[in-house]
């Protein structure tokens, strides 16, 4: 996927620049273009038409970047006290900080410089703004990342499969008296054992009234008979995330089961309307209208979904007011919810891929568990 700098070349074509220098600091964007998980403070410098591409990183990250970099990428280190230390001969030190390092690479002031400065500390961001004479490219990078390639789709599908297999193993641990923390820990363990590199985000496990918090934090609450269980989880493989949510009942509760069925109806309504050319807000409205019909409109307190890729939350955002035009290759979640404070919360979340004619649901788990 990263055996050539083609993604950077695509960005240059989109910007219609003659011979630019790209400065990219957002860690997720660096990962997207290089395939290497990037810490805060690293910088990717690319001169696509000159076939020169560099990563500048703190010397603590130098070897990891160098050892895992594609052949087309050169790695340099910076460290504030480098001149006062004896450094290994094979670490290429280019400066004491990101700004001085960049200055030595790009040379004169006549370069066309475009920047993504989102990953820089504030004290450096102001300095870099002065040299970004052709503007900023954060939004252009987001536009490129919104539409997934076939390779990206395959990796995300593999990541999702691992998360789903882990969930099915964890279902066996849902027993009366188990705690939210224990269940979250078991799910995280299963994801790791099955090949997930890490959790995509802190796993949410919430029982009963705790599920009314959309971003509930697992605690010591013990599961009771006939109580609701909400689990929101994901893993990461090869830099790409998955994100899923399921709500089930440990035992029987007809009233709660009915709410789960209504939320499932909202998912189905949204999936049915997905197709290239419509606006993101139309998909949100399809699900929201179902909940409003059943009297739960005011209890759906967030947007319907978000893109998933190198970041677990990225463009496109499927929410009210969004005029983003849906395109083939976009991949996002559909996750309506009903939250009644002090009583319960229900959310169902699927990942879907936009095809030429509609939506392909990538999530394979049943939405309703008996």
pLDDT in tens, 274-313: 999 999 999 999 999 999 999 999 999 999 999 999 999 9
Q: Which residues contact 356 (CB under 8 A, 6 or more apart)?
A: 276, 328
Residues 89 and 198 in one domain: no
> What CA–CA distance (Å, rounded) separates 164 from 127?
45
- pLDDT tier, 3 (very low <50, low <70, confident <90, very high otherwise): low
Q: Does a structural domain hold residue 55?
A: yes
Same domain? For 95 and 164 the reply is no
pLDDT computed for residue 85 by the predictor: 67
- For position 188, what pLDDT does the model report? 98
Q: Which residue has the tokens 């094979």?
A: 90
Q: Please report, in angstroms and rounded to a whole number, the separation of the first and last CA atoms in the chain.
A: 40
**Residues in contact with 342: Cβ distance below 8 Å, sequence separation at least 6, in sequence order:** 209, 212
Q: What domain count does the chain have?
A: 2
The secondary structure of residue 279, as a DSSP letter, is: B
Q: Are 271 and 296 members of one domain?
A: yes
The residue that leads in pLDDT, 28 or 108, is 28
Number of residues that this document lists for the chain = 370
CB-based contacts of 225, cutoff 8 Å, min separation 6:
176, 250, 251
Helix (H, G, I), strand (E, B), or coil: what is residue 330?
strand
Confidence tier at 40 by pLDDT (50, 70, 90): confident
Torsion of the alpha carbons at 225, 226, 228 and 231, rounded to the nearest 10: 50
Q: Show the DSSP H helices in 194-314 as ranges.
A: 254-273, 280-293
Q: Which two tokens stand for residue 158?
A: 């593999």
**pLDDT score, position 100:** 74
Judge if 305 and 185 occupy the same domain: yes
Residue that terminates a domain, selected from 80, 113, 144:
144
Residue 236 in domain: yes
User: Do both 173 and 98 map to the same domain?
Assistant: no
User: Do residues 249 and 352 make contact, with C-beta atoms less than 8 angstroms apart?
Assistant: no
pLDDT reported for residue 350: 98
Residues 103 and 222 in one domain: no
Q: pTM above the 0.85 mark?
A: yes
- Asked if residues 51 and 12 have their Cβ atoms less than 8 Å apart, the reply is no
- Residues 51 and 124 both lie in one domain: yes
pLDDT at 173: 95
Specify the pLDDT at position 18: 79
* Same domain membership, residue 206 and residue 183: yes
Q: Does the pLDDT of residue 83 top 70, yes or no?
A: no
Radius of gyration of the chain (CA): 23
User: Domain residues for 344?
Assistant: 150-361
Model confidence at 2: pLDDT above 60? no
Residue 203's CB is within 10 A of a number of other CB atoms, namely 22
Report how far residue 165's alpha carbon sits from residue 180's, in angstroms, rounded to the nearest whole number.
19
CB 344 within 8 A of CB 352: no
Please give the structure tokens belonging to residue 90.
């094979």
């Amino acid at each position: 996927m990263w055996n050539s700098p083609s993604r950077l070349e695509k960005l240059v074509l989109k910007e219609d620049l003659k011979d630019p220098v790209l400065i990219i600091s957002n860690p997720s964007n660096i990962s997207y273009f290089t395939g290497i998980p990037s810490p805060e403070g690293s910088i990717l410098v690319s001169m696509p038409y000159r076939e020169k591409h560099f990563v500048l990183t703190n010397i603590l990250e130098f070897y990891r970047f160098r050892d895992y970099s594609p052949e087309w990428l050169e790695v340099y280190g910076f460290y504030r006290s480098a001149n006062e230390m004896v450094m290994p001969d094979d670490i290429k030190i280019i400066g004491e900080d990101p700004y001085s390092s960049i200055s030595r690479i790009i040379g004169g002031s006549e370069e066309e410089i475009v920047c993504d400065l989102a990953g820089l500390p504030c004290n450096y961001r102001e300095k870099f703004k002065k040299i970004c004479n052709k503007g900023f490219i954060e939004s252009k990078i987001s536009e490129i990342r919104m539409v997934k390639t076939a390779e990206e789709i395959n990796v995300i599908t593999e990541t999702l499969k691992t998360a789903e297999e882990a969930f099915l193993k964890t279902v066996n641990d849902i027993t009366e008296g188990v705690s939210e923390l224990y269940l979250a820990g078991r799910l995280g363990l299963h994801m790791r054992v099955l090949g997930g590199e890490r959790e995509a985000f802190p796993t949410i496990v919430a029982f009963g009234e705790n599920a009314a918090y959309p971003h509930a934090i697992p605690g010591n609450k013990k599961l009771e008979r006939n109580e609701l269980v909400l689990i929101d989880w994901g893993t990461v493989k090869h830099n790409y995330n998955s994100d899923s949510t399921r709500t089930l009942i440990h035992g029987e509760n007809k009233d709660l089961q009915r709410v789960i069925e209504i939320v499932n109806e909202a998912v189905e309504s949204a999936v049915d309307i997905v197709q290239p050319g419509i606006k993101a807000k139309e998909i949100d409205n399809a699900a929201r209208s179902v909940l409003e019909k059943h009297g739960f409109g005011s209890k759906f307190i967030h947007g319907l979904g978000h893109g998933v890729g190198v970041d677990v939350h990225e463009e496109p955002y499927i929410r009210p007011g969004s005029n983003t035009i849906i395109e083939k290759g976009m991949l996002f979640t559909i996750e309506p919810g009903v939250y009644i404070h002090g009583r319960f919360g229900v959310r169902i979340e699927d990942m879907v891929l936009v095809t030429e004619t509609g939506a392909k649901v990538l999530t394979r788990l049943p939405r309703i568990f008996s």
